[in-house]
């Protein structure tokens, strides 16, 4: 549902927010930042600035329900805010929007409550207790399946089960950190035995990250009709993948060291409320596909569970940077390619009584379209390393090389609404140590 905080006519006294491609006043994502010379604290992105929640609390700018929510959003981790639930987030969103709106009560305190974002350090927004990665992009399933299982690319359970695996929470890191090329066992088809050494086929996967809000007790599943209230917000997620390690180790129990070395998230949590204007019907399933089982089927979720988010993947090689060339766009895709809704992922995750906790992170799995230029990873673009990808400057890639920057961007745009963004999720590949 939308409210005055989404009003496209609403402007801000923070001049850079008006027309900002990522963080207009209609967005207001949460994060954790450090101003120069100070420790981490909760903040909210607004234009080219960061709104300091702690400073606003010290000035007494919050009252009512927004006061406790601001306290929960002011610390070194946003887990308390995630746990508080939708009503608390909504109260804080309305209060901050009013403070920052043109003529709002925050303007006289601009020097205290605003920081230049470029001069701040961004941190992980929350402590990740658990990380579950789904496989909800059916085009990735089909394309990757044709590479690894040409005769049977989509297994029978896929159209009934939101397939997932538990990944490694401890190695989830924030955008901008360097990534060391991992070591592992790898075996080419022409080799008689595996060898141990640096990953040869390093890849990215562009995903939508989902931050869990209020959890559920062990043994008490979250019904599909209530699942959306347990979703606090979203981010960009890069599920780095060591394809050669992954292909050798994955049978029979699935990904392990080929995935657990690191995943990156963008630093801002775009709240579920900010995405309200960009929701719509979940795209219909292909003719002949079965309907979801009853515990995964809800009329409201089918009517509003689709997300209209445009994603882009860029590469910026060491040569491009040296030559002063802008990053090269590898692909673009919309979240409409998801076969399962986010609520269905949450409901299925807890359907056996598994408990989710505030700050748990879910990944949608690779977002890929059916056409050239919509692939969500190099595995698909290079057809398993068989095809060279032209970067437009004389360079080619099959997989990533040391020095490559991978950059994810995403935006929501809809007629009659102010567009919002997620900020970047980026990482540079370094040599193994």
**Catalytic residue set:** 140
| Residue whose C-alpha is closest to residue 117's, from 43, 18, 37 | 43
The residue to which tokens 């399946």 are assigned: 145
Say what the alpha-carbon torsion angle 352, 358, 360, 361 is, to the nearest 10 degrees.
Answer: 120
Q: Token digits for 285?
A: 């399933």
Q: Strands, E, within 25-181: which ranges?
A: 30-34, 41-46, 49-52, 114-116, 121-123, 131-134, 164-167, 172-174, 178-180
The residue to which tokens 């003529």 are assigned: 103
How many Cβ atoms sit within 10 Å of the Cβ of residue 266? 28
Q: Token digits for 70?
A: 């601001």
Residues 6+ apart with CB under 8 A from 234: 208, 209, 210, 211, 269, 270, 272, 275, 422
Rounded Cα distance between 43 and 32, Å, is: 6
Pairing relationship of beta strands 425-430 and 178-180 according to DSSP bridges: parallel
**CB-CB contact of 364 with 345 (8 Å):** yes
């Amino acid at each position: 549902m939308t409210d005055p905080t989404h009003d496209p006519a609403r402007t801000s006294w923070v001049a850079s927010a008006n027309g900002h491609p990522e963080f207009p006043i209609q967005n207001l994502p949460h994060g954790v930042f450090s101003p120069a010379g100070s420790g981490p604290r909760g903040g909210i992105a607004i234009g080219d600035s960061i709104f300091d929640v702690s400073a606003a609390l010290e000035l007494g700018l919050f009252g009512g329900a927004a006061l406790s929510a601001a306290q929960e959003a002011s610390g070194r981790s946003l887990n308390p805010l995630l746990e508080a639930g939708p009503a608390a987030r909504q109260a804080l969103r309305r209060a901050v929007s009013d403070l920052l709106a043109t003529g709002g009560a925050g303007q006289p305190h601009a020097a205290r409550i605003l920081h230049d974002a470029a001069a701040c350090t961004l941190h992980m927004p929350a402590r990740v207790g658990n990380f579950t990665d789904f496989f909800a992009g059916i085009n990735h399933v089909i394309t990757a399946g044709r590479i690894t299982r040409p005769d049977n690319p989509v297994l029978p359970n896929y159209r009934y089960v939101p397939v997932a695996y538990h990944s490694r929470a401890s190695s989830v890191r924030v955008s901008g950190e360097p990534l060391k090329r991992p070591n592992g066992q790898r075996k080419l088809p022409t080799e008689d035995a595996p060898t141990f050494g640096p990953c040869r086929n390093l890849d990215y996967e562009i995903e939508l990250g989902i931050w869990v809000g209020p959890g559920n007790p062990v043994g008490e599943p979250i019904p599909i009709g209530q699942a959306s209230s347990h979703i606090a917000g979203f981010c960009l997620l890069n599920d780095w993948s060591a394809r050669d390690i992954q292909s050798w180790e994955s049978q029979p129990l699935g990904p392990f060291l080929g995935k657990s070395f690191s995943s990156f998230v963008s630093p801002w949590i775009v709240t579920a409320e900010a995405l309200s204007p960009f929701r719509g019907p979940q795209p219909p399933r292909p003719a002949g596909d079965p309907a979801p089982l009853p515990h995964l089927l809800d009329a409201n979720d089918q009517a509003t569970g689709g997300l209209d988010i445009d994603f882009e993947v860029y590469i910026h090689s060491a040569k491009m940077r040296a030559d002063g060339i802008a990053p090269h766009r590898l692909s673009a895709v919309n979240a409409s390619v998801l076969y399962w809704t986010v609520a269905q992922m949450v409901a299925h995750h807890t359907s056996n009584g598994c408990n989710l906790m505030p700050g748990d992170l879910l990944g949608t799995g690779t977002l890929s379209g059916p056409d050239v230029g919509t692939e969500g990873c190099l595995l698909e673009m290079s057809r398993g390393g068989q095809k060279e990808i032209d970067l437009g400057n004389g360079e080619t890639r099959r997989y990533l090389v040391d020095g490559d920057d991978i950059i994810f961007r995403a935006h929501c745009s809809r007629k009659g609404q102010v567009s919002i963004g997620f900020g970047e999720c980026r990482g540079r590949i370094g040599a193994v140590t």
